[in-house]
Homo-oligomer: A and B are copies of this chain.
Amino acid sequence: MIQSPSHTKRLRLGILCLTLIIGVLSFSCNQEGKTENKTELKNQKPVLSLSTSEAEEIKGLLAKNKVLKTSFDQHQKKADKAILNGVEIPMPKDPGGGYTHEKHKRNYGEMYSAGIAYIITGDTKYSEFVTDMLLGYAEMYPKLPLHPKSKENHPAGKLFWQGLNESVWLVNSIQAYNLVSDAISKENKTIIENNVFKKIAEFISVDSKKTFNKIHNHGTWAVAGVGMTGYVLKDQDMVDRALYGSNKDKETGFLKQIDMLFSPEGYYSEGPYYQRYAMMPFMLFAQAIQINQPDLKIFEYRDQLLGKAVTTVLQLTDENGAFFPFNDALKEKNYLTSELIFASNIAYAYYKDSSLLPITLAHEKVSISGAGLEVAKALKSFKPKAYEKKPLLITDGKDGEDGGLALLRMPNGKKDEKITSVFKFASQGMGHGHFDRLSLFLYDGKKEILQDYGAARFLNVESKKGGRYLPENKTWAKQTIAHNTVTVDETSQFGANVKASSKVSPKLLFSNLKDSNLQIVSAKEENGYEGVKMQRTITMIKNQATERPPFIIDVYAIKSKEAHQYDLNFMYQGHIMETNFEYIKENTLSELGAKNGYQHLWKLAEGKSDQNFATLTWLNQNRFYSISSLISPESKMVFSRLGANDPDFNLRNDASYMLRESNKKDHVFINVIEPHGNFDPKLESVQNPHSDVSTIQLVYSDDNYTIVKVIFKNDEKYTLAIVNQEHDPHKQHQITVDDQEYQWTGNYNLKTN
């Protein structure tokens, strides 16, 4: 039973409801009208993901359902190849990437595929392969010591150097065993269950209790493996430990993880790159719970949190499907990954959310499971369309109080494409977090315009430090200067200290993403630098002249009693076309600074201007982009390029443009970011290659209000008033500046002309 305090009410209602239907058959109790009871109780063998009758149905559909066929064929082919190669269970000795490590990983994948091949075809060569493999492990596992390559201060495994892999092994292997167990003799079952599954579950849940009870994705893999094993071995105690923690006190375990690791919208604080990975054990175990303990209503738990988590991780992708590269993230990774095939299939099956179908269609594959079967059937009559990316505010922290993310999205004038601006004011995100508070990302359709570096890592490429995170990940990618935000005094936020940074989060001040003409989000960060208070407000505005794409007003207000240097850096992508100011290029290149990431930037040029705004225009493929900035004659515009102090050519050679304000206390950066015009070398045509901004003014700025005004060359005027404190959507504000009265209701106001 679920007893997390916030759900007591729902439970009471549930019990009442159950009472009412006593005696009424085939009526499902369902507040939201979405859950279904899919269990087939008559089936004696416990089911984790695929019942015998579902397997029969899949078998029958293979001839006519292409996606099922493709998906199944891959398993069968893999299993056939594995059988040809024979069973090999090497004594564990190598670290990650080494032979025994990779072989034990391959083994569970092959067992799983053979399990699928068996349940669909009934061919016992597949079940025999799994049985032989598991009997082999039964020989070896009980005698195994901790892995010889395990590291101090890092949870160890036995088959693998780290415990995480051991849990992943279990999640896969228990499914394989479950799929073929009908075909295994009673004697062998006993051997396998006693010498493999009980032993490994004990190792994970008892010997490695600390990880098992961790509120962390390593813990999720651990409880998922042990919980699924509990169902298969019909060991409810094991299941309960997985659900409620070692002590079954609900202080840890799966439900607590759901409570603690996600925000109310289902955001996982490490960021979408890691959320993708974490969703797999969450969804696989939830599916097993739903089948075996439907009364737990796991998919309804915490207001359908698991469904929200799947939607959120999918929304946190760009138009290539790649995850927004928050924190340590490989930019190449997208939602076509196997983890999200499982997760999105299960989410579709339990929430019947047809908005997921464009994703499952893009996968061109389903999981061979009851959930995958439902998706495959649904795709039969699905008319292809793009996955709808929406403007979204996603809070961070279990109560949604630890800042968050805003996705500002407006059509860019091309079919199915949007201008997307991501504003990140989230919590640290644990050890993989970057010091990137109040940073901005900009996309135009499939193109990165203002980029985040992502992680410095070439996954699995041996020559790049064995595929692990590179040293430059710490010295560059995590540092504040690597992000499109303000760096104070050439140091990173919190002195790049994860512990300090994890204690406090930025705060959302206000937002409105529902207005089709204007999307606005304001957030503050007051702890990253001692004595420096920062508030950034990102506003995306639909042009009055409708054929132009939307533009962004970026107001970054800083308050400090001491004087500092403020560097607002933009990692722009593209080729510089023009500036409205002079700059001097360096004849020899040196580092921009000594440390905190600055040592990796070659300083290329520095500009100054007597005008009161600076414009940089660059070209990215077929469109121009400009940043126009309010400046003073003391402001510096600094051009740099990545690559200094990079002995192994680990870094990309990305460009950056920095607005530098020195010796300032309070300061307001105002930037207008415009996508504009068109460059078509095929038609040899160029339109609007110049920025259309003619003036930027800081009309007013104090503790209460910031008012900025942007005037375009065609005389369109945009006056944006921002409320800096006491946020209340109903409050009336009034202020007179230079005899002009500004008056509005709510947290912001945009006046046009």
Give me the interface of A with B, judged by CB distance under 8 Å: 330, 332-334, 336-338, 458-464, 467, 575-578, 585, 588-590, 602, 604, 617, 619, 639, 641, 643, 646-647, 649, 652-653, 655, 679, 681-686, 689-690
Contacts and interface: CB of A to CB of B under 8 A. Distances in A.
B467 A686 contact: yes
Contact of A646 (B577, B585, B646): B585
A455 to B, nearest CB: 11
A217 to B, nearest CB: 16
B467 A682 contact: no
B461 A686 contact: yes
Contact of A458 (B467, B589, B590, B619): B619
Contacts of A683: 338
A99 to B, nearest CB: 15
Contacts of A467: 686
B682 A461 contact: no
Given A641-B653, A647-B585, A577 B690 contact: no
A575 B648 CA distance: 11
A462 B682 contact: no
Given A619-B461, A689-B463, A652 B575 contact: yes
A342 to B, nearest CB: 15
B463 A617 contact: yes
B330 A459 contact: no
18 contacts: A330-B681, A332-B681, A336-B682, A337-B682, A459-B681, A461-B619, A462-B689, A463-B578, A463-B617, A463-B689, A463-B690, A467-B686, A575-B649, A588-B588, A588-B590, A639-B649, A641-B643, A653-B653
Nearest to A685: B460
Chain A contact residues: helix, strand, loop or mixed: loop
Contact of A461 (B330, B333, B679): B679
Closest 7 CB pairs of A and B: A332-B681, A463-B578, A589-B589, A576-B649, A460-B686, A588-B590, A463-B577
A577 B649 CA distance: 8
A461 B689 contact: yes
Contacts of A689: 461-463
Nearest to A690: B463
Contacts of A333: 681-682
A186 to B, nearest CB: 38
Given A330-B681, A459-B686, A461-B577, 14 more contacts: A333-B681, A334-B682, A337-B682, A458-B619, A459-B681, A459-B684, A462-B690, A463-B578, A464-B577, A467-B686, A588-B590, A589-B602, A639-B649, A641-B653
A336 to B, nearest CB: 6
Contact of A588 (B330, B460, B589): B589
Nearest to A621: B332
Contacts of A588: 588-590
Nearest to A321: B682
A158 to B, nearest CB: 23
